[in-house]
Amino acid sequence: PLGCKVTLRGNKMYEFMERLINIAIPRERDFRGLSPKSFDGQGNYNFGIKEQIIFPEIKFDNVDTIRGMDICINTSATNKEGAKALLEVLEFPFKK
């Protein structure tokens, strides 16, 4: 097993979010949108990615094993409605 936790803030967070939303997530196989039911009720959103190679920075030839990851978006919202509204403004691709 392999584990790691990274916290991004400020410009690095926004750069990651932009690449995640506009480049990486749309590259996921059979992607039909993120579940709008993955909010925890305290303003956070959690989802999983099955393959790390959806990020263009990761070169397929350098990957020995395809791995996934869990991503937790912590917002300043205090409930799921506020968090969902914020992520919709950021153009998160939720299922319709």
> Residue 12, Cα to own-chain centre: how many angstroms?
14
The per-residue pLDDT for range 68-84, each reduced to its tens digit, is 899 999 999 999 999 99
Q: Structural domains in the chain?
A: 10-89 (3.30.1440.10)
Angle (CA) 17-21-24 rounded to 5° is: 100
The per-residue pLDDT for range 25-67, each reduced to its tens digit, is 999 988 999 999 999 999 999 999 998 889 989 888 888 888 8
Coil, helix or strand at residue 19? helix
Give the pLDDT score at 1.
61
Task: In whole angstroms, give the CA distance from residue 24 to residue 45.
Answer: 17
Which residue is associated with the tokens 């991004």? 8
Give the pLDDT score at 48.
93
Taking the whole predicted model, whether its pTM rises above 0.75 is answered as yes
